[in-house]
Amino acid sequence: MSSSAETAASRPLRVAIIGAGPAGVYAADILSKSSEVKDGHLEVSIDLFEAYPAPYGLIRYGVAPDHPRIKGIVNALHKVLDRGDIRFFGNVTYGRDLTLHDFRSFYDAVIFSTGAIKDAELDIPGIELEGSYGGADFVSWYDGHPDVSREWPLEAKEIAVIGNGNVALDVARMLSKHADDLLVTEIPDNVYQGLKNSPVTDVHVFGRRGPAQVKFTPLELRELSHSNDVDIVLYPEDFEFDEASDEAIRSNNQIKTMVNTLTNWLVEEHAESEQPSSRRLHLHFLHSPVEVLSEDGSGKVSGIKFERMQLDGTGNAKGTGEFIEYPVQAVYRAIGYHGSALDELEYDARRGVIPNDGGRVLGADGKPVPGIYTTGWIKRGPVGLIGHTKGDALETIGFLLEDRLSLPPAETPDPQAIVDLLEERGIEYTTWEGWNRLDAHEAALGAQWTAENPDRGITRERVKVVPREDMIRISRG
């Protein structure tokens, strides 16, 4: 085995990145463009692994289909992977197909960018009832995630969505929109059919604090009013502002814009005399969930109970002792994502992250584990927009480069060795060329739909392929 100092000098640094969402691709891009690499001090050879057969993680399986602007980030990520200096291995699951020991044998450093895809838990009675769902699971369904059921029970007329973040807005918008208005997007056929048959009339979004404490972003909030045949309904008694709210409105432009938007909607709603829409999206504030109800003992959701809250001066809310119930037949909690534990790594179960110091992964003794790094939501928790992940990657890559002379060198650094191992284990991995094939196939499905439905006047750029086996078959030619 060569010494680590010799390793860095005598051959390219071998780095594996696990998770090909934005966090992983940004890390790969930043590493490959770092000044050490550009100035020729260091050669790097990067392999990017992904558990799904396709790349782009959260952008493909987390961003709502009617958000083409955010989905467009894919174009930037595509350019990075299309340069040819980063190898892509899809359909390879860490901990099952390859172990930490495998990665350590083939690479000098491993970066975990596995994100967060599970729903945070909401510990209230009745949350387990039939008709109570995690928002993240619903997102996975409408985004055609290969590992979730093709069917989603959309039987409720009245629905509660808990949470005041952008995921709650996505879930509420997707539940309330008319399916035909989503045909311009890449939604798979099963999602279109499911939404088309939904009998929904009212979607209620509940925040536990006030209008100045929402976690939405202004663009995403304003977009709610663009849904065809969906009225937004607000309640004057929910418009409470304490000193901290006033300060937030003064000092934070985003909050100011959102409070203005909400207040304008409230005023317009009460002045309105237009024809009412067939669906309504209600925004409620100062409602803290207490219990999901099942009236008749059927085990099915029949309502939801909240405690009315009041602001305490600091922007936080406290209970008033007053309770209110709403009849709903489905409840979606969108109160945040939670990262999952990874084999052979420490895990902070409360925050759902890998314990780390600026991206250097920490062991049980609280010290950095040589050669192991993390970036993205599994590093810092599921907060922030996609672009924020770049800063994370910069920090992690900075530490990796700082450590490069002391990394435990790979025993088998030959880039072909990992390919041989995957083949030997019979793992049906997909490649960048394979993704290009699947990408072209999905675009062709869109073109086919457009040609077969000329009367609809809709151009579909893509229709997603959902079953994992189909994705693999098409990718592997």
Chain residues that interact with ligand NAP, rule: CB under 6 A = 67, 70, 122, 162-168, 170, 207-209, 213, 215, 217, 220, 289, 334-337, 382-385
* CB nearer ligand NAP, residue 162 or residue 230: 162
**Strand ranges in 144-297 using DSSP code E only, listed in sequence order:** 158-162, 202-206, 230-234, 279-284, 287-293
Structure tokens at 198: 């939904």
- What CA–CA distances, in Å, run from 11 to 181, 228, 373, 412, 446? 54, 59, 21, 12, 45
* CB nearer ligand NAP, residue 288 or residue 356: 288
Q: What are phi and psi of 340, to 5 degrees?
A: -105, 155
Specify burial of residue 157 (Cβ count, 10 A radius: 0-12, 13-18, 19+): middle
Bridge-partner residues for 202, per DSSP? 158, 280
* CB nearer ligand NAP, residue 211 or residue 371: 211
Residue type, 475: S
Number of helices (H) and strands (E) in the chain: give both, helices first.
18, 18
Alpha-helical (H) ranges within 72-161 are: 73-82, 100-106, 135-142
DSSP string, 442-474: HHHHHHHHHHH-GGG----S------HHHHHHH
Q: What is the dihedral of CA 90, 339, 110, 93, to 10 degrees?
A: -30
* CB nearer ligand NAP, residue 339 or residue 434: 339
**Cα(473)–Cα(340) distance, integer angstroms:** 28
Burial 188-213 (b: 16+ CB within 10 A, else e): bebbbebbeebebebbbbbbbbbbbb
**Minimum distance, C-beta of residue 466 to ligand NAP, in the bound complex (Å):** 21
* CB nearer ligand NAP, residue 14 or residue 338: 338
**Minimum distance, C-beta of residue 453 to ligand NAP, in the bound complex (Å):** 28
**Minimum distance, C-beta of residue 64 to ligand NAP, in the bound complex (Å):** 7
**Minimum distance, C-beta of residue 191 to ligand NAP, in the bound complex (Å):** 17
* CB nearer ligand NAP, residue 7 or residue 288: 288
Q: Give Dmax (Cα) for the chain.
A: 79
Bridge-partner residues for 297, per DSSP? none
**Cα(44)–Cα(168) distance, integer angstroms:** 41
Cross-sheet strand order for the sheet of 303-311 = 287-293, 303-311, 317-326
Structure tokens at 47: 């392999």
* CB nearer ligand NAP, residue 234 or residue 401: 234
* CB nearer ligand NAP, residue 176 or residue 430: 176
Q: What are phi and psi of 114, to 5 degrees?
A: -90, -5
* CB nearer ligand NAP, residue 209 or residue 460: 209
* CB nearer ligand NAP, residue 116 or residue 471: 116
**Minimum distance, C-beta of residue 380 to ligand NAP, in the bound complex (Å):** 11
Task: Specify the length of the chain in residues.
Answer: 477
**Minimum distance, C-beta of residue 192 to ligand NAP, in the bound complex (Å):** 21
**Minimum distance, C-beta of residue 232 to ligand NAP, in the bound complex (Å):** 17
* CB nearer ligand NAP, residue 64 or residue 422: 64
Residue type, 77: L
